[in-house]
Structure 1
Amino acid sequence: MSSFDPITMATNLATYDVQPFQQRYQMQADKYQAQITALGKVESALREFRTAVTNMNSSSSNIIKNTATVSQEGFLSATANASAMAGSYQVFVEQVATAHQLSTGMPADLDANTEIPTTGTLDLTVDGKTLSLDLSTVDTDGDGKATMADLVSAINNDPDNPGVNATLVRSNGQTHFMLSSTETGVANSVNVSASGTGASWFEDAFTNTSNISTPQDAVIWLGAEGSGLKLTNSSNTFTGVIDGVDLTVSKAQVSGEQPLTLTIGADDEATKEQVNAFIDAYNTLMSTMDEYTGIGGEDKARGVLASDPTLRSIESQLTSIIRGEYNGMRLSEVGIEIDRSGKMTLDATKFEEAQKNNSAALEAMFNGDGNLLDSIDTMVDPFLKSTTGLFKTRKDSLQQNISRIDDKQATLERKYDMAYSRYLKQFTQMNTLMTQMNQTMSMFG
């Protein structure tokens, strides 16, 4: 009578006891994880679609894109948003805005390691806001000393900095301590003074300053220089001077020159590109949903989200919106149609005709409260909320199912361990008895 291995026998029988449950649990976990992954893909495609919608439906953008061109480059640039009215304007650039830069009257032998007073206050004021820097706090390493490099760091990193940059600039073998306003314009002039330091050289340095760059506002004329509407701004960008148009000046013209011509008009190509982005995002969304909701066939597996209620709801609502009527018009009337396969297509010729002959109606159909893009945004919002969205709720529910399966698998592991221990004990005892019997039989030859 031959002996056997109790460990192998115990392992095989314990595995046999739990294997059907393990396989079932693993299949369930794999299914739930596949659904979570698929929902994530669809959610991502829906977010991309919503982004395309938002890019065409905001306070500064709609279906109709405008363009702004200037007759001569180098002096002025302009951007026009959806509210800009087509037209031609004359603009003369008299002056560009500059920031205030000043150099302090520090000693000629100044360098980054020059020690500064550690008592008193350095006051820096810009546009009515003041930083009163306590010089005793400039010493950061606690050695009782502070240097110019420490001062630069203390100014630039102070949370109450009113808009001043401090730098040490080296030129011709000499180091200069400079202060610069972070913003342009006269209102952002830098004023600085030191007091209570007990060091006259330090306080005098902030009294005897010299301008490297004088602060000034930007000045333009809507119309001819001297006779048009004069406008000043601390920044080089003028916002809202012309409705929907931002003007940024970069170089002053010479007095007496002719004003620049600014032309605002519809940008048909940009409008069509924007619509194509909308169509591509829609088709990507639909293709993604089709990939995971297919019922399958002879040569194609059933989608992991087939008959899923969340996706059915999205498709049903979105199809209804896309095929709806807005401001008395439908998408098909401007060349945007859904083919038999559910893919959105653009008839470029038909769309260009709508742009040319009825742009106001085109805009009214897409934009505005309750119209196409607003309806889409309202529809997708409940699905995409970060904390209460339907996608998050579905994925959380599936993840909970996986967690419950993990708990079952942990219980199954304990069941395996118990079965293995029981079988091992039994087969070990049996193997011992068989060994004893073999020994007894051998005594009788």
Structure 2
Amino acid sequence: MSSMDPISMATQFATLDVKPFQTRYQLQADKYQSQLKALGEVETALREFRTAVNKMNTATSGIITNAATLSEEGFFTASTNANALTGNYQIFVEQVATAHQMSTGMPAGITSTTEIPTTGTLDFTIDGETFSVDLSTVDNDGDGKATMAELATAINTNSNNKGVNATLVRADGETHFMLSSTETGVANTIQVSASGTGQAWFDDAFTNTTDISTPQDAVIWLGPQGSGLKLTNGSNTFSGVIDGVDITVNKAQSAGDTPISMGIAADSEATKEQLNTFIDAYNNLVSTIDRLTSTGSEDSKRGALAGDPTTRSIESQLNNVLRSQFEGKSLMEVGLSINREGKLELDEKRFTAAQQNNGAALEAMFNGDGNLFDSLDSAMEPYLKFSSGLFSSRKDAIKQNLSRIDTKQEALQRKYDMAYDRYLAQFTQMNQIMTQMNQTSGLFAM
């Protein structure tokens, strides 16, 4: 009678005791993990759709995209938003805005390491704001000296600095201490003076300054120069002069030039492009839900969320919104319809006609208060709240189930260990008996 391996036998028998439970728990864990992953996919697709909706539903963006066309390029550019009104305008650019830049009257021969006074202040005023640089704090390397380079750093890093930039510029073998405003316009004229330094050369440098660039405001005319409506602005961008249109001037025209024509109209191609983004995001959501809630067949496997009412209700609610009427019209009337697969389709001819015939009504239908986009967003809100949304609640419930399985598996491990110890003791004893019997048999054989 041959001996046995107690460890191997104990392992096999203890494994058999717990294997049915291990299989059951693993199947449950796999199912919950699949559901958790699937819910994440649906949530991602829903958030992407909501992003597409909200991108076209702000104070400055809508279903219709407007565009500006200019009769002549190079003098100004125009950007439009959903509030832009269709029309034609005449713009004359008289002057572009410039920033103030000056060279201080430093004596010849200064360098970045030239020492400056360590007493007194340097006082600045720009756009009605004032700030001072205490010269006793300019030394930042602790060597007891303050230099031109350290002064530039002290000005630029001053916490109260509202728009002055100091620079050391080297040209023709000389170093120049320059001051520039960071913003354009007359209001941003730099005023500077030194006081209490005790050194005339330093004080004089900030009194005897030379303008390199004189600050000026941008000037445009709505209509011909001299007879139209004159507009000035400290920045080169005129916002809100015409509803929904920002005009940024780049170059001044010559006196007597003809104003540049600017036409504002709906951009059909851009509108269809963003509408297609909306359609694609919705159809991707539908495809994701259909795939993950599929009951399965001979040719396809059952989805991880098959029979899940929460997931199916998303598609049902959004579908109901899309089939509703807004401003007395259905989406089908303006070229959007839901096909047999539950996906959106665009009839470009019908949509283009609706846009051309009554763009304002189309805009109100999609972007009006409580209309399509607002209704879609409201339908998605309960699912996507971060702390109390239905997705968050469902995922938390699944995670709790996984946690309970972990607890059961820990208990199962303890059961295995106890069974292993019991079987090991039994098979060790049996092995000892078999060994003794073999020894006894050997004596009789002699």
Same fold per superposition (TM over 0.5): yes
1: CA distance, partners of 2:257 / 2:266: 29
On the 8 A contact 2:289/2:312 being kept in 1, the answer is no
Tell me the secondary structure at the aligned position of residue 358 of structure 2: helix
Deviation (angstroms), 1:229: 1.0
Deviation (angstroms), 1:154: 3.6
Alignment of 1:188-227 (within 5 A): 188-227=188-227
User: Aligned residues, how many?
Assistant: 445
Hey, what does 1:246 align to over in structure 2? 246
Hey, what does 1:106 align to over in structure 2? 106
1: CA distance, partners of 2:209 / 2:83: 47
Alignment of 1:56-95 (within 5 A): 56-95=56-95
Alignment of 1:41-190 (within 5 A): 41-190=41-190
1: CA distance, partners of 2:349 / 2:76: 35
Structure 1 pair 12–152 and aligned structure 2 pair: CA distance change class (3 A):
farther
Alignment of 1:405-444 (within 5 A): 405-439=405-439, 441-443=441-443
2: CA distance, partners of 1:379 / 1:286: 15
Moved more, 374-383 or 108-117: 108-117
Per-residue Cα deviation, 1:214-259 (whole angstroms, up to 9, x for no partner): 1111111111111111111111111111112111111111111111
Tell me the secondary structure at the aligned position of residue 92 of structure 1: strand
2: CA distance, partners of 1:160 / 1:404: 58
Moved more, 33-42 or 285-294: 33-42
Structure 1 pair 265–429 and aligned structure 2 pair: CA distance change class (3 A):
same
Tell me the secondary structure at the aligned position of residue 298 of structure 2: coil
2: CA distance, partners of 1:158 / 1:29: 59
Structure 1 pair 443–151 and aligned structure 2 pair: CA distance change class (3 A):
farther
Amino acid at match of 1:370: G
1: CA distance, partners of 2:90 / 2:276: 34
Hey, what does 1:282 align to over in structure 2? 282
2: CA distance, partners of 1:21 / 1:201: 92
1: CA distance, partners of 2:3 / 2:110: 94
Per-residue Cα deviation, 1:202-221 (whole angstroms, up to 9, x for no partner): 44433332222111111111
Deviation (angstroms), 1:109: 3.7
Per-residue Cα deviation, 1:297-324 (whole angstroms, up to 9, x for no partner): 1121111111222222211111111011
2: CA distance, partners of 1:41 / 1:161: 49
2: CA distance, partners of 1:14 / 1:135: 83
2: CA distance, partners of 1:24 / 1:367: 52
Structure 1 pair 404–161 and aligned structure 2 pair: CA distance change class (3 A):
farther
Deviation (angstroms), 1:108: 3.7
Amino acid at match of 1:61: S
2: CA distance, partners of 1:175 / 1:6: 92
Per-residue Cα deviation, 1:75-132 (whole angstroms, up to 9, x for no partner): 0111222222221111111111111122223344444444444444333332122333
Structure 1 pair 228–305 and aligned structure 2 pair: CA distance change class (3 A):
same
Per-residue Cα deviation, 1:365-406 (whole angstroms, up to 9, x for no partner): 212112111111111122222332222222222223223323
On the 8 A contact 2:365/2:371 being kept in 1, the answer is yes
Gaps of 5+ in 1: none
Amino acid at match of 2:97: A
Tell me the secondary structure at the aligned position of residue 170 of structure 1: strand
Hey, what does 1:375 align to over in structure 2? 375
Hey, what does 2:364 align to over in structure 1? 364
1: CA distance, partners of 2:199 / 2:412: 80
RMSD: 2.4
Amino acid at match of 2:230: K
2: CA distance, partners of 1:169 / 1:140: 21
1: CA distance, partners of 2:20 / 2:147: 75
Tell me the secondary structure at the aligned position of residue 238 of structure 1: strand
Structure 1 pair 406–224 and aligned structure 2 pair: CA distance change class (3 A):
same
Deviation (angstroms), 1:291: 1.3
The runs of at least 4 aligned residues of structure 1 exceeding 6 Å deviation read none
1: CA distance, partners of 2:403 / 2:171: 67
Structure 1 pair 387–122 and aligned structure 2 pair: CA distance change class (3 A):
farther
TM-score in terms of structure 2 length: 0.91
Tell me the secondary structure at the aligned position of residue 123 of structure 1: strand
Structure 1 pair 7–97 and aligned structure 2 pair: CA distance change class (3 A):
same
Tell me the secondary structure at the aligned position of residue 207 of structure 1: coil
Alignment of 1:390-405 (within 5 A): 390-405=390-405
Amino acid at match of 1:377: D
TM-score in terms of structure 1 length: 0.92
Per-residue Cα deviation, 1:144-198 (whole angstroms, up to 9, x for no partner): 4444444433433343321222333232333333222221111112223333445
Gaps of 5+ in 2: none
Tell me the secondary structure at the aligned position of residue 175 of structure 2: strand
Tell me the secondary structure at the aligned position of residue 301 of structure 1: coil
2:199 pairs with 1:230: no
2: CA distance, partners of 1:334 / 1:226: 46
Structure 1 pair 22–104 and aligned structure 2 pair: CA distance change class (3 A):
farther
Deviation (angstroms), 1:325: 0.8
Q: Give me the identity figure in percent.
A: 67
Amino acid at match of 1:205: A
Deviation (angstroms), 1:335: 1.6
Amino acid at match of 2:413: E
Deviation (angstroms), 1:409: 2.7
Amino acid at match of 1:374: D
Structure 1 pair 367–2 and aligned structure 2 pair: CA distance change class (3 A):
same
Alignment of 1:294-373 (within 5 A): 294-373=294-373
1: CA distance, partners of 2:366 / 2:390: 26
Per-residue Cα deviation, 1:408-435 (whole angstroms, up to 9, x for no partner): 3333334434443444444444444544
